[in-house]
Structure formats: C-alpha cells, structure tokens
Structure 1
Amino acid sequence: MTSGQHLLPVERAGHRQLHCVSSQTVASLIRGQFGPAVEDFLIVDCRYPYEYQGGHIKGAVNLYTESQIQQAVYQDHPSDSRPEDEGSSPRKLIVFHCEFSSERGPHLCQYLRRLDRCVNAQVYPNLHYPELYLLLGGYKHFHASYPDLCDPCGYVPMRQREYREQLHGFRRTRPTRQRRRRPIRIHQRTTR
C-alpha cells in the first residue's frame, strides 16, 4: 500500500512530522463509524504497564518499547513479504498515544515509520503501515472526553506517587537516546 491520502481526518498540531487525530475521531473509529473502509486498526498505548492497567482505551494494546513495537507489528509480516501484495483497500490503521502524546507515543510512532521505511527500502513509497496516527492530548484527554470507551474506566498518571519505584525502574531499563546538541554560539558585538 502506498502512502497517500489518509482516511482519518488529520488535525494540525505541534508534531509536524506526525498525523494527529482527535479523541472524537478515535471514538468514531472504535464505534465503527468509518465502516468497511477500515479493515483493521490497532491502538497502541505507549504508557507503562501500571498506567495501562489503571485504565486504557478499549481494545488498546500496551507496547512501550521499540522491541515490543517491532515484535508486535512485524509478526504478521514475514521479512520476505512486500506491501504491494496486500492490495490498496480496505485500510489498516495504527493510532499511538501515551499520557499526553508528547513524548513516548510520538517517539514510538516515528520509530515504526523509520522501521517500515527501512524494511521496505526497495519498494518505497510502498509501506506495510502507511497510516500511522498520534492521538492528540493522549489518554488523559481521551479519558476525560470518552470514559465509556475506557476499560477499566480509570486514569493513573505516570508520576503518581505510589508507582514512583516502578517509574524509576522503567526509566532505568529504557535505553537513553543520544541527542545531538548544537554548539552554543556566542555572538560578540564588534565595536567600531
């Protein structure tokens, strides 16, 4: 399937490289309001397990590491399968989110995009997963708007006190991302 026009309505947001969708759009997707155009969809909850267990979007799967993403999405696609073998419709969609969709969700969404492009380098722009989305406002906003679509109907913040040890454990085991730092440029005034 080639990347092209997206099925879901995309919102403008701070994540310029990602296609963001509203809580209302995800609720419509869950309720089947996109009809037969959507063959299948997956909601990926990128929060830590204690957050997920405290409440999540119905049907969401909890994948919070790059290796989990790789294992889960490519188990259906053997390394020798090509995206053009799948046909062009109906579509398979993946929606990522974390608590606010500001760090973990966007990171894993971008990771899957890079992985898919790498796996399909010979046939790019054909991709296995051309329609990746990020839920605007994350689970916090979705839960506030659609508690009936959450199971269980709860919300555990990442920084909730009683889970502090678990949070530190997840952060210790997470590989650190090396960020390139731009050199600081000092502008000197010249006097004449």
Structure 2
Amino acid sequence: MVQVRNEEIKEEINERQEDERIKSAVERLSDDVELIADCSRPYSLPTVCGKHKDLKSISPQTVEDLLNGKYPTIDNNYMILDCRYQYEYDGGHIQGAINTYIKDSIDNLLQLQDKPKILIFHCEFSSQRAPTLLRYLRSQDRLLNSDNYPSLYYPEVYILDGGYKAFYEQTQNLCEPCDYIQMLDPKFSEELSIFQSKKSRGNRSREEKMRKPRVIRF
C-alpha cells in the first residue's frame, strides 16, 4: 500500500510539473510575440502587419531578399508552399515554390524526415486558401506534439502578404514562367471546376478516415 501511495504521489508531482511547464510556455508565447511557436528562438524574418492577425506575415520584398540570399543564416533551409490550383501554379509561380493545395499534402509535410526550418505559405491573394492550410498545419502539428507542448515540427511559419499577385507585381524576374494566371480566368473555368471538385472529395475522404482510430508512426 505504501509503494502504491508513493507512486500516486510521484504521478501527482509529475502532472503538476507538466502543468506548470505548459503554463509557463503559454505565458511566454503571450508575452513575447517575437518568439516562434515553440518558444525556442525569435523569428528569423521581419514581419509586417497583415490581414490575418493570428498569422505571421512577411512582405514580397522579404521573400525576394530570401531568394536572393540576403539571409545567410537561413541559407536554403526553407520551403515556399504555393496553395493555388495547379493551372495557376503552372502558369507562373515563385522560383522553387512547391504546389500544395490539399490537406493530404500538409499531412505528408508533417511526416518528412528532413524538415525545412521555415515554411512560407501563399495563394493568389493569401486571403483564404493559404491561411486555411497554414492553420491546418499548425493544428495537426500541435496535435502530434500534444505530449510535449510547445514543441512543434514546424514552429516557424509565415504567410506571404498579398500572395502571388503582390509578389508578381513587384518581382517578375523571380517567377517561372514569368506570368500570372488568375484563379477566375475564364479560359480555365473547366480546370477550376475540376480542381475544386477534387479538393472537396479529398477533404471528405480525409474526414472519413479521421473518424476511424489510427496509429501514427514516424
């Protein structure tokens, strides 16, 4: 009985210490907005006041400087995620950007062995598609690391203020090909319908899978 009670006391102490650790991390994130989301260090890139107050926004100029190697401490340890549909991406995108417009692609990012230090999300205007996927990434990241708060696989993520449109208008020479296809371009109305349908089906399939118990291994 004494041994059982001692174990219970140890468990209570551990739980109390964990609660204090989490509380301390939450307070640090609240008090110091310049810390990345795992509280380990400050943000690497200068931010601007964007339309999404819960997200860290960076300007097209900052992305241009990053591509031109003006942040040597980051080197190439970053990934630009273009959340537009494929016909938009194929029509013109930021150099090195990866086309990512469905949540399955975000799930794959979370399982990468060699994870980049920084993620930068954008869509056409960075109004809806990119913020939605960025928030999904953060929610899943928190879920996967729930036993070790505030640890994250991707603690430093940004959204490109103004999206591809703003970047293209400022820096066409860093777009490949050097063009800009709007999502609602009448010439691509059929493609738009196809990709929206594909995205909707993918989200429904994911929701059905998530209702079933599953084990995540890394």
**Normalising TM by the smaller chain, what interval?**
0.7 to 0.9
Which residue of the other structure, out of 146, 151, 163, is the alignment partner of 1:126? 151
Superposed CA deviations along residues 33-61 of structure 1, whole A, max 9, x for unmatched, are 11024560000000000000000000000
Q: Give, in angstroms, the shift of residue 124 of structure 1.
A: 1.3
Alignment of 1:171 with 2:196, yes or no, is yes
* 3-state DSSP of counterpart to 2:73: helix
Name the structure 2 match of 1:46. Answer: 83
Name the structure 2 match of 1:97. Answer: 122
Identify the structure with bigger relative contact order (alpha carbons < 8 Å, sequence gap 6+).
1
8 Å contact kept, 2:110–2:141: no
Q: Normalising to structure 2: TM-score of the pair?
A: 0.71
What stretches of structure 1 of length at least 5 have no aligned partner? 78-85, 178-192
Q: Give, in angstroms, the shift of residue 10 of structure 1.
A: 1.1
Q: Which has the larger radius of gyration?
A: 2
Separation in structure 1 between the aligned mates of residue 98 and residue 46 of structure 2, nearest angstrom: 23
* 3-state DSSP of counterpart to 1:122: helix
Alignment of 1:115 with 2:152, yes or no, is no
Name the structure 1 match of 2:131. Answer: 106
Q: Give, in angstroms, the shift of residue 162 of structure 1.
A: 1.2
Which residue of the other structure, out of 38, 45, 56, is the alignment partner of 2:93? 56
Superposed CA deviations along residues 72-91 of structure 1, whole A, max 9, x for unmatched, are 342226xxxxxxxx9xxxx8
8 Å contact kept, 1:38–1:93: no
Q: Give, in angstroms, the shift of residue 173 of structure 1.
A: 2.6
Superposed CA deviations along residues 116-158 of structure 1, whole A, max 9, x for unmatched, are 1111111111111111100000001101100011011110000
Change (3 A) 1:39 1:121: farther
Separation in structure 1 between the aligned mates of residue 178 and residue 155 of structure 2, nearest angstrom: 31
What stretches of structure 2 of length at least 5 have no aligned partner? 1-35, 204-218
Change (3 A) 1:58 1:6: same
Separation in structure 2 between the aligned mates of residue 174 and residue 65 of structure 1, nearest angstrom: 6
Alignment of 1:16 with 2:50, yes or no, is no
Return structure 1 stretches of 4+ with deviation > 6 angstroms: none
Q: Normalising to structure 1: TM-score of the pair?
A: 0.80
Structure having the higher helix fraction is 2
Aligned-residue Cα RMSD (Å) equals 2.1
Output aligned runs, 1:58-77, within 5 Å: 58-76=95-113
8 Å contact kept, 1:23–1:135: yes
Separation in structure 1 between the aligned mates of residue 156 and residue 71 of structure 2, nearest angstrom: 14
Name the structure 2 match of 1:28. Answer: 65
How many residues end up aligned between the 2 structures? 166
8 Å contact kept, 2:80–2:119: yes
